[in-house]
A and B are shown apart, each in its own frame.
Chain A
């Protein structure tokens, strides 16, 4: 197994001891990334809960655009397979969704189930696009554009300008889908888009569908919800889960000097943030390299080196992926378990000290 402490190659045991002491010395540790399989995500939350760390994820921008809108207005959604099987009109909001693997299925196929089965599928766009049959460039920004569409749907605006035509086409569809990338659209835009879908569903059927985000955020959200009762970002320093997307933003905490150690978890490779080098850090990564952090432990990539449960984007749920090329690299979950053992044992030994 590959491991490094302060750039020097070492063995696993030494690296785990170094990582545990780094975390034990911290007063406000952060566990970040969480781009990992469910076993490791669970282990990360368990560890965070026991040592009072806060938790942040790799794909937070998109995740919070979704979660913020969800907790304020709710959502009206579909799944990729249902959208492909049923939609006779798809509105692509912004540029990012055109890059999603799902787009090819929308373009190449027709609806096969439900009352729109066999009919053609209209592709509509907010943002300039040559593939769409109807594209509204919407130079003013995506969220504003969605707001305008919603105003047409509610009848606050009328006429046959492009946005009016788009809304009319969606209103005449049997099963409309509004496809978007939450990170691109932003929280206010997502909220507006949910309102548009709800408005259109008063008379027909229209649902939103988000394209995939970064890392394993889509797996982290349910695991966090069932383990702690709360969505990420959250902190456990007060021994109750506190959900606060602003306060527990790892980048903000590091920049403000609030965090004093980070454990970066990325057994599913994802871009490392710059701030990792600005703070005492431990990295559990599949693409292990000495410079990644103060303590680096190379772990197996789930679905490749060992089996693991991962987010399945086309199916929009969790799926077990067996090892495609098994190795004896340790799983991130097992390293987190070993860290917990060391840290909790240490805690038990010093429990006689009065709490402050």
Chain B
């Protein structure tokens, strides 16, 4: 069927397009105007037409997410089920995640933390998120098997083979390292770790582990650069860790997760633990401008109750004292394990206000929004449902000023936010939420509306109230099929999980099988994510090729 979305303001920064026009769609793809009459015409006058949103870092599945639901059963509100799905309005459920993203015009979302030991459970959970295409990043950097290999200096090829085996086995879309070596150090008694600190029992450092993973990702040709969660998240002086990590990348491609949590300069560098922090947004933004090999996502903080979930158990253990309410879960499990700590970003509290300001400041100082991805590190900085409000604040200086006026003076004293005049354009918002994340993940047919693009399209009613505009799209197409109309889901279809096609080395598979059997009593088969696990006749996975 030939369809046209007619007369909307089409915003596609990858084609320098921001003007009233048409978008033609056939067989699930965007096409050039075909010179034929459309079978189906969608009138979009007064609307903004963008590619479907792409999420690179949101905790939407996995052991920590499960635990957070058990620890805080009342975190999200549930409403009566809609027609067609029994759990789509059940707060925090997989179907709620899928439908809430879809209503906002997002069509792809990536879970950034899948431990290979728990890949099948994570993948099964992802598969139950309807409407969206999904993906997951395979986490490495703390497991004994990798650390042993590095300790014994077995060489880059062995690391590369273990990384490709882990990605292939877990069916990941990319590779992430989380405070590399930190979880291992925690189990051996450490309470802090910086880039060059020695990791007990292995004689390694974060720099060495991360460096070996950076090389492996390049050698394998993983489209998404190594996704890095640095040391010292959230501590005054964490900006030094960020910059040191960037320098340690030595020009190799690197993605920084939730950069806001590192943009904390120590007020008193001699006593970073006691003097508090000030915004280091300028320093971080400048570093990204100066290093075209680097990208970041924000991890914007929003006010209110949330829960922090992270495989950085060193950090989560340290954060337990700040748990609000006062309960927390830490699993010092296989490889990273996981930690879940409830947290309240106190409305109008001085610390949370400064964190809020720093996230916005990084985005407003960015010289390249395509390398500055909007995230809240859901749910760590707050829920992803706040994206429309954040977009509103970026696009509207007046709205920002009204919010700042309600906040403590520290926002002006320790951040530059009040002085920033910039207002994001719709094109820049599309870079932040569409073209940037799609490029970052190496998904060439997403994040834009040029011919050949997947027909994942969001149509919003143009509205000065950007919060309202981006909360409930007028129309969302997934692969050309309407899934949301007037802000409500109209078609409960299942998307696919994007998984990298990577060849696993047979020799390494054999070695891993022996190692795993020794440690777990079961070999590689037990760690597999086979198609059969997702039900007969269902095609859950979609292959994504490596870079050539």
Does B91 lie within 8 Å of A229, measured CB to CB?
A: yes
Chain A residue contacts of B86, Cβ below 8 A: 46, 49-50, 236, 239
- Are A205 and B332 neighbours in the complex by a CB distance under 8 Å? yes
Give every chain A residue within 8 A of B73 (Cβ-Cβ). 71, 229-231, 243
A137 within 8 A of B: no
Asked if B248 is at the interface (CB within 8 A of a chain A CB), the reply is no
Query: Within 8 Å CB of B80, what residues of A?
Result: 238-240
Q: Please state if A205 and B87 are interface contacts (CB–CB under 8 Å).
A: no
Q: B331 at the A/B interface (Cβ < 8 Å)?
A: yes
Instruction: Report the contact-size class of chain A (Cβ under 8 Å from the partner).
Output: 35 or more
How many positions in chain B have a CB within 8 Å of any CB in the partner chain?
A: 64
B69 contacts chain A at the CB level, 8 A cutoff: yes
**Interface hits, B245-290 → A, CB 8 Å:** none
The answer to whether residues A67 and B76 also contact, given A230-B90, A236-B86, A320-B532 and a CB cut-off of 8 A, is no
Segment among B113-121, B385-393, B418-426, B432-440 that sits at the interface with chain A:
B113-121
Residues of A close to B192: CB separation below 8 A: none
Q: Is there contact, CB below 8 Å, between B94 and A317?
A: no
A174 & B526 in contact (Cβ 8 Å cutoff): no
Is the beta-carbon distance between B78 and A229 smaller than 8 angstroms? yes
Establish whether residues A114 and B187, one from each chain, have CB atoms under 8 Å apart when the complex forms: yes
Contact A82 B61 (CB under 8 A): no
Is B128 an interface residue when CB atoms closer than 8 A count as contact? yes
The answer, yes or no, to whether A264 is at the interface (CB within 8 Å) is no
B332 near A230 (CB under 8 angstroms)? no
Q: Which chain B residue shows the least CB distance to A312?
A: B526
Bound-state CA distance A85–B144 (Å) is 11
Given A175-B187, A227-B93, A239-B80: A318 in contact with B334 (beta carbons within 8 A): no
Q: Which chain A positions have C-beta within 8 A of B211?
A: none
The answer to whether A77 touches B333, judged by C-beta atoms less than 8 angstroms apart, is yes
Residue of B87, B189, B317 touching A228 (CB-CB under 8 A): B87
Binary B-proximity of A64-96 (CB < 8 A = 1, otherwise 0): 000100111111111101100110000000000
Interface-central residue, B334, B528, B529, by most chain A CB under 10 Å? B334
Residues of A contacting B76 in the complex (Cβ-Cβ under 8 angstroms): 229
Contact A240 B78 (CB under 8 A): yes
B70 at the interface (CB under 8 A from A): yes
Spot the interface stretch: B362-370, B395-403, B477-485, B514-522: B514-522
B90 & A86 in contact (Cβ 8 Å cutoff): no
Q: Which residues of A have CB within 8 Å of B152?
A: none
Asked whether A152 is an interface residue with its Cβ less than 8 Å from the other chain, the reply is no
Interfacial chain A residues near B329, Cβ < 8 Å: 70, 74-77
The answer, yes or no, to whether A136 is at the interface (CB within 8 Å) is no
Taking the complex as formed, is A273 at the interface, i.e. its CB lies under 8 A from any CB of chain B?
no
Q: B331 near A240 (CB under 8 angstroms)?
A: no
Q: Residue on B with the closest CB to A79?
A: B333
Determine if A254 is an interface residue (Cβ-Cβ < 8 Å): no
A221 on the interface (CB 8 Å rule)?
yes
Task: Indicate if the CB atoms of A74 and B94 lie closer than 8 Å.
Answer: no
B331 lies within 8 A of A226 (CB): no
B79, B332, B527: the one contacting A82 at CB < 8 Å is B332
Of the A-B pairs whose beta carbons lie under 8 Å apart in the complex, a sample of 25, sorted by A's number, is A38-B533, A49-B81, A72-B327, A74-B329, A76-B330, A77-B333, A78-B332, A79-B331, A79-B334, A81-B521, A114-B201, A204-B189, A226-B94, A227-B95, A229-B76, A230-B73, A309-B124, A315-B526, A316-B334, A317-B118, A317-B120, A318-B120, A319-B120, A320-B120, A320-B530
Excluding A316-B334, A318-B118, 17 further A-B contacts by CB distance (< 8 Å) are A75-B329, A77-B331, A77-B333, A82-B187, A114-B187, A114-B188, A114-B200, A174-B188, A205-B186, A222-B63, A226-B125, A227-B93, A229-B93, A231-B70, A241-B90, A314-B520, A317-B121
Nearest 6 A-B pairs (CB), nearest first? A49-B86, A229-B93, A229-B92, A74-B327, A79-B333, A320-B533
